[in-house]
Structures are given as structure tokens and as C-alpha cells.
Amino acid sequence: MNDEHMQLIVSELTGNASKEQQQALQEWMAASEENRLAYEEVKEVWEKSKDLQHLAQVNAQADWDQVISKVRERGSSRLWLRWAAAAALLIGLAGSWFYSSVQDASQYYAAGDEVTTVELEDGTLVHLNRKSTLRLSEDFSQNTREVELTGEGYFEVAPDPSKPFRVSTGATQTEVLGTAFNLEQLGEGVGLHVAHGKVRFASDQDTLILIRDEAAMAGLNGRIQSQQPDLNAMAWRTGILRFEDASLAEVGEVLSEHYRAVVTMPEGSDTLALTSVFDNESLTTVLSEITLIHELKLDSAGGNYQLQK
């Protein structure tokens, strides 16, 4: 059992595993009974640790001690301590968990149900979207600056010409010296949006250099293609939504994802357009403005939001 297998399990239990990761995990579990039992044990520790969530506002160290005590009931091996830490990381107490492995110097960060910001040893800031994880290399900031991202993250990389900053996401690798960019692991591949600076985006099939306000997508086949930048690629971090002549059908999809709500637009919404900027406004405020612009009615019964003519 190694770090790769642990990352697969972490991705699975946080709901961020891609189809390829799910398949790899299933193949690893099917390879031996020992592997399957190891997965079940980790899952069990994680599920049993959920009862610590009520302590999120009390003391993170106390929460950690309780997780450790649970594990020690099963045996106090170093391996179990390692997996207990992975379980604690998955809980997402107080928004996120940080864990330095007992066995090695790898570091793991995970965002729970809230966006989490962490500052790395080299001064780099990483904003993790909900349910996303970040793993640092064992010698991070000493000899290299290599990390692995699962989910979505916005990186503000501290300049260091002698040590390029590399992010592995799925089958892609992003390399920079000092810049800011957004990476998102999607079902169809990995998306990159550069805020400023220059970024090298690579897979085993393609390599592309991107600069400020450029975007690209690496498909599951490894091919990388330039894309029109998504105006709302970083809305999850900034809270700012921008629409430029966007159809209401598209607006509805963006609002549903951003606010984690069900937003239904009226028939013919693909022929209605919206140009506007919403700076950390509530969903009700946004929808109210849309109803005024297009003379629509808002029905929010049952917790769902439906615009009607």
C-alpha cells in the first residue's frame, strides 16, 4: 500500500474520483484480499470518525486525539496512524484538515464543505474549492515544488526561478515559476485558466504554453486544446459572477452550480440574453434582477427557483 493507493481512496471517499481513478481503485482492490480489506478498514475508520463533527468549533487537536484513540483500539501500528490521519483529513472538520504523515514528510490538505485557503512553506497561496484535496511532495520547497491536486484549486505561486512549481492533476502537469492560475479536474478532463503570468500545460500527448486570460482543456485522451476563457472560472473563489450576452439557459446552469440550488429558466430561455455582473449577491437578488430585465416571474416554492413568463 503506497501513497498512490491512499490518494485513490481519498478521492473515492470525498466523491472526487474520476472514472479512471475509480477503475484503478477497483483493480487494486481486486488484486488481493489484503488490498480489499485495507480499503474497507480505511472506510470504516472514516465513517466511525464522523461523530467528531460536532467538535468542529472546539479544538482540532482534541478531535485528532479522539481519532487516534479510535484507531488504537484496533492496534497502534504506524500504518494505522497513517490511515487514521487520512480519515481525519476526509472529515473536513472546521472546513479543512491538515496532516503531516507519521511515516514520511508528505503533507495533505483537504477542503470540506467550504472553500479553504492554505499558505505553503514557499509562500504560495492555494485556494481549494469544496471537496478538493492537495498533496505535497516529500521534499517540497527543499529540492522541488511539486504538488498533486484532486478537484479544483486556484494557485498564487510565489516566484522562485530555481524551483519551478509543478501541479499534477489527473494525467496532466502544469509548470510555472511564479503566476496565478485555476485548475479544475472535470469528468471530461482537466481545465486550466491563467489569471496572469505564463504557464506550461502538458500531458503525455501534448504541451501548450498559456499566458494571461488564456484557457485550455486536456481531454481524457491527453490532447490539449485552447478554449475561450470562462468568465466565471474563478467565481467559486471570488464570489463574482459575470455574464456577457449569455443566454438565460446558460445563466441558469451557472447559477445552479454556483449556489448549489435548482434554478429553472422559462421556455425559450436560449433566446433571451443577459449582460450583468453580480458581486457576492444572494441568489434571490440575482434572480430578482433577471425577472425585472426580462419581465419574468419568480417562483421559489419548495426551495427550488423557477422563472416563468
What is the domain partition of the chain in residue ranges?
A: 1-104, 111-235, 239-308
- Other beta carbons within 10 Å of 21: 19
List, in order, residues 6 or more apart from 173 with CB less than 8 Å away: 166, 167, 202, 203
Cell match 481513478: residue? 21
CA distance 21 to 3: 14
Whether the Cβ atoms of residue 245 and residue 293 lie closer than 8 Å to each other: no
Taking residue 271's Cβ as centre, other Cβ atoms within 10 Å add up to 9
Q: Is 66 exposed, middle or buried (0-12, 13-18, 19+ CB in 10 A)?
A: middle
Helix (H, G, I), strand (E, B) or coil at 102: coil
pLDDT above 90 (res 127): yes
pLDDT tens for each residue of 135-170: 898 888 777 899 999 999 999 999 988 889 999 998
Nearest to 129 by CA among 160, 169, 159, 82: 169
CATH match for 111-235 among 3.60.150.10, 2.60.120.1440, 3.90.1150.10, 3.40.50.720: 2.60.120.1440
Query: CA-to-CA distance for 94 and 10, rounded, in angstroms?
Result: 18
Q: What is the pTM of this model?
A: 0.64
| DSSP bridge pairs for 54 | none
Contacts of 66 (CB under 8 A, 6+ apart): 52, 55
Q: What is the pLDDT of residue 50?
A: 46
Architecture (CATH level 2) of domain 239-308: 3-Layer(bab) Sandwich (3.55)
The pLDDT of residue 97 is above 90? no
165-202 pLDDT tens trace: 999 998 899 999 779 999 999 888 999 999 999 999 99
* Per-residue pLDDT at 36: 84
Residue (of 253, 249, 246) closest to 270 by Cα position: 249
Confidence of residue 20 (pLDDT cuts 50, 70, 90): confident
Half-sphere exposure of 108 toward its Cβ, with a 13 Å CA cutoff?
26
